[in-house]
Amino acid sequence: MSDAPLSLVVFARDQSRRVQDAWDELSAFLDARTGVQIAATAIAGDLTLPDEPVDLVLVLGGDGAILRACHQLGPRQHPVLGINLGRLGFLADLSPDEFRENFELIRQRQYQVVEHLMFECALKRGDGSTETFLGLNEAAIRASGLQMIDVELAINDEPVTTYSGDGLIVSTPVGSTAHSLSAGGPLLRQDLQAFVVTPICPHSLSNRPLVDHADRVYTLDVPNADVGATLVVDGQIRRPIRPDDRIEIRKASVTFKLARIPGHSFYAMLYRKLGWAGHTRTTHTPR
């Protein structure tokens, strides 16, 4: 166990009354404790890491705030601990009360850091230019809403199928509980090395979600992209798609690091967040 103070960077995506009140309470709580130091704060601002080592990036908000923090960390990913001020929160799993109750465990670094798959999404334009984005949840192609869109999928240059419908989602296991789940995709353990391909309102009943390994390259072509067709990465980045564009998705060289305290495993989180307690015969929370 390290004797050095626990070094925290605090991040929040906005300055709403709810966030400000939570930070005021949390700040007062931390100020009254020894063995912890706040290395930097970014409340509704850009996240800048200090030069000295950081133990945890403490994110106030919901999963959207964690996604924004992850994007701002970029290639310098640090362990993230989310304090949920929203509703569901698959990544931001601790309430403010639970953070305070478990603070001694956290201060003593008795948490597990689980590394999760991230992806690189390269948007290759027909004019030869390329934009590359780092993502955690999913890359989605969405139709404009005026007509059905066709998305041609190839994996490692092998043609797979053409999805016709309202769009297509390629998600990580972390993203499998987000947009992909709403579109009928499966739940994946967050530490798996796999991608989920989920069609949005497919025209054919034979088009179903597909799971394949993360070490492969997923290529998407949209030959009939009309005005308004869009590539969306993690709900944070939006780019228009033209018929001669190509999108390539592959495993990133960096991982998202999520800190979890004892008793807050993946299945325990699903048990609490999805209301599975009402559909199980057991009388205890899985650990």
Residues serving a catalytic function are 63
Q: How far apart are the C-alpha atoms of 165 and 149, rounded to whole Å? A: 6
Q: How far apart are the C-alpha atoms of 153 and 159, rounded to whole Å? A: 6
Q: How far apart are the C-alpha atoms of 76 and 244, rounded to whole Å? A: 33
Q: How far apart are the C-alpha atoms of 260 and 106, rounded to whole Å? A: 9
> Which residues are CB-neighbours of 147 under 8 A, at least 6 positions away?
226
Residue 16 burial (CB count, 10 A): 13
- Number of alpha carbons in the 13 Å side-chain half-sphere of residue 104: 1
Do residues 65 and 13 touch, judged by C-beta distance below 8 A? yes
Angle at 189 between CA 159 and CA 214, to 5 degrees: 30
